[in-house]
Structure formats: structure tokens, C-alpha cells
Amino acid sequence: MKLNLNIQPLESWFDNGGKPIIISGPCSAETEEQLLETARLVKETGKVNILRAGIWKPRTRPGEFEGIGVEGLVWLDKAKKETGLPTAVEVATAKHVEEALAAGVDILWIGARSTVNPFTVQDIADALQGVDVPVLVKNPINPDLSLWIGALERINRAGITKLAAIHRGFSSFEKSAYRNEPMWDLAIQLKTLAPELPIFNDPSHICGARELIPHIAQTAIDLDMQGLMIEAHRDPSVAWTDAKQQVTPAKLAEIIDNLTLRHSDS
């Protein structure tokens, strides 16, 4: 099963001189102040290429913070204008796609809870018809390579050629130190089936605990993944979502500094 994706090389839509692309920012946009300050601090590290923030949060159970919604898109645009960083948000519905694009978001990603559902992915793909925007597709929650591939194909068939995958680990019944098992073999299989497809890694959602991030980030680089998405917050201890896995911008800079890049990256 070879994947026949019609995609543009990563350098043609995001040239980072061969170095891994770093996507960072808070798990969730919480307040305008929190987002702007985090964006400023992340930018000041000089190591971040793309600012992320969750605007619509897919929570496993109801009753928790489900994202600030469209108001956050206005803050994100302010953060972009202030820092000059392109922005990325998760979209889970066709309406999210329309709202994010209308608000000037530069890059969209599909979350693990959406990749798992072909109807959802197809709705998002339909909303992307005729749009020229980079889309990053996270692996599904469960360790099913076909679902991941199917989502990439649906988005690609909608005409999205600036396409990449994000490896964020998989749910497992095994007891583990990780929130989501990396199951590196699935990412390696995807790389083998579609060598032209860029794969980024999301150590934050694999680890679920900030102490574990450096090792997973290094492993991803050693496997030749082309980017890292790492959640950063101005004060992770009070984050409204994913508090245990977010890092301060200073810690983020240290993690990036301590990575040993592959020969061709340095």
C-alpha cells in the first residue's frame, strides 16, 4: 500500500533552512493577556517559528473549559501582528475552518479526536475545497494507521498540497509513564509509505508530563521528523488545560537548545 499524495515539499511552503520547525504556544487561548504575553515570551526565545493556540478545545468529558471560541481568534491575530509569527489552530468542524480562515489564521491542524472520524474529516475537507492553506493532521487517538492515512488522503483530495502529519501518540490500555504511547513504529510506517510527507512530533501530548518532553523530542529528531509542536504557557501551573505538560517559554528554549540535531539539520 503506497500512498499517492500530491503534495508540495515542505521547504516550498515553510523554509526553515533544514532545521526542525518549532510550533509553540499555549494548549488553550484563555484570556487576551495570557495569549499575548505567552506569544511575546515565545517569540523572545528566538526559537519558535509558528504560534499555536487552541481556540476550540475537544474535551473528553463535558463541564470543563471547552475553549474561548471566536473571540480568541481576534487575540491570536493581535499576537501575530505583534510578534510576526504565523498562527496555527485546531479545527474540528467546517464552521471552525471558515471562522479560522476568515480571522487570518495561517495554518490549520486536525486533532486526534477528529482524525478518528471519517465523516468529520470529510466535512473539514469539503470546507477546504479551493483553499490554499497548510494543514497538519494529527494521528487518531487509537493506534490505527489506516485512519491517519485516510484523513491525510481526504484532506489532500480536497486540494490541500501543503500537508504534513503530526505524531502525538496513541491511547493504550498498557500502564505507562506516557499520556499517549509513542508507538514510534506507526510513524515510521507512515514515513515508509509516504516518504515525501513531512512528519512533525508533538512531545507534549505524548508525554503528558513536562519532565518527559526532552527525551521524546530528541527521539523525534533522531528519527528525522521535521518539526516539533510543544505547548508553552506563561505560567503552566495555572493553565486551564494540560497544565502538567506545558512548559514555560524559558524551559522551551532550553529544550530546543539541548537538542542534538541530525548532521544535515545543523
**Interface residues toward ligand PEP, by CB under 6 A:** 27, 54, 58, 90, 111-113, 138, 168, 202, 205
Supply 70's cell numbers: 471566536
User: Helix 145-157 crosses helix 184-193 at what angle (to 10 degrees)?
Assistant: 40
Give the residue carrying C-alpha cell 477528529. 114
Of 20-39, which residues contact Mn ion (CB under 5 A)? Answer: 27
CA atoms within 13 A on the CB side of 179: 19
Structural contact between residues 247 and 228, judged by C-beta atoms closer than 8 angstroms:
no
User: Helix 249-257 crosses helix 213-222 at what angle (to 10 degrees)?
Assistant: 40
> Does position 202 bind Mn ion by CB under 5 A?
no
Choosing from 30, 153, 202, 242, the residue that interacts with Mn ion (CB under 5 A) is 242
Instruction: Tell the smallest beta-carbon distance from residue 17 to Mn ion (Å).
Output: 28
Give the residue carrying C-alpha cell 506507526. 186
> Does position 99 bind Mn ion by CB under 5 A?
no
Nearer to Mn ion (CB atom), residue 27 or residue 79: 27
Instruction: Identify which of 181, 162, 165 has the alpha carbon closest to the alpha carbon of residue 173.
Output: 181
Supply 47's cell numbers: 526559537
Nearer to Mn ion (CB atom), residue 125 or residue 232: 232
> Does position 247 bind Mn ion by CB under 5 A?
no
**Which of the stretches 100-108, 179-187, 234-242, 249-257 binds Mn ion when contact is defined by CB under 5 A?**
234-242
Residue nearest to ligand PEP (CB): 111
How many CB atoms are located within 10 Å of the residue 4 CB? 7
Instruction: Tell the smallest beta-carbon distance from residue 231 to ligand PEP (Å).
Output: 7
Instruction: Tell the smallest beta-carbon distance from residue 231 to Mn ion (Å).
Output: 6
What number of chain residues touch Mn ion (CB under 5 A)? 2
Supply 46's cell numbers: 528566538
Q: Which one of ligand PEP, Mn ion, none is in contact with 30 (Cβ closer than 5 to 8 A by kind)?
A: none
Q: Report the interface residues with Mn ion, using CB under 5 A.
A: 27, 242
